[in-house]
Amino acid sequence: MSGNLAVILMGSKADYDHGKKITSWLDHFGIAHETHIASAHKTPEKLLAILSANEKRGLNIVYVGIAGLSNALSGMVEFSTAFPVVSCPPPNDAFGGADVFSSLRMPPGVAAATVLDPRNAAIFAAKIFALGDPALASKIRAYQKEQRDKIDTDDADIQRLYGA
């Protein structure tokens, strides 16, 4: 296989803003991505056609499913491909937020990982790709160092302001 590609699959255009948060972090790590709208409930044939076409591309693919309410999308994608699937449902107040259980509770043998934060979904996808991409692994380590350095800087600022 040559090349990494994150494929963002949204259930509807309403998921676009959530998806944009993911793609901005994929961009941060230099990961190629594309976005499609396809519903497991309303356009299953289209969804399966996208998956079938991707199987033939010769790429390392990680799918990120973005669908709320009843997230059949991520489960259907996961069981229809050998590539990893990350479910990142958008926040929703419907049902008191309990709609997230449709992403968390998959049937046995359907192994979509659920990551609620869009940044973390992109990082999770990046770490999957990094298994075979040392340059990407270095970018991830550099990002982690930046995060550690920020904590140290913030702590030093607090110590200066409030003393130890």
pLDDT tens figures, 102-154: 788 888 999 999 999 999 999 999 999 999 999 999 999 999 999 999 999 99
Between CA 13 and CA 158 the distance in angstroms is 43
Angle at 69 between CA 116 and CA 80, to 5 degrees: 75
| 42: pLDDT strictly greater than 80 | yes
129 or 70: which carries more pLDDT confidence?
Answer: 129
Q: What is the pLDDT of residue 1?
A: 45
DSSP character for 57? S
4-132 CATH: 3.40.50.1970
DSSP string, 8-47: EEESSGGGHHHHHHHHHHHHHTT--EEEEE--TTT-HHHH
Q: By C-alpha distance, which of 115, 103, 112, 125 is closest to 25?
A: 125
Q: 2 pLDDT exceeds 80?
A: no
Q: Do 89 and 114 form a contact (C-beta atoms < 8 A)? A: yes
Count how many residues are written for the chain. Answer: 164
How does residue 17 score in pLDDT terms, banded at 50, 70 and 90? very high
| Residue 11: pLDDT over 80 | yes
- The answer to whether 107 and 75 are in contact (CB under 8 A) is yes
Sequence spans of domains, the chain? 4-132, 134-164
State the Cα–Cα distance between residues 155 and 112, nearest whole angstrom: 37
Residue 89's pLDDT is what? 92
Angle, helices 134-162/118-130, rounded to nearest 10 degrees? 140
| Percentage of residues in the chain having pLDDT higher than 90 | 85
pTM more than 0.85: yes
Torsion of CA 63, 104, 121, 138, to 10 degrees: -90
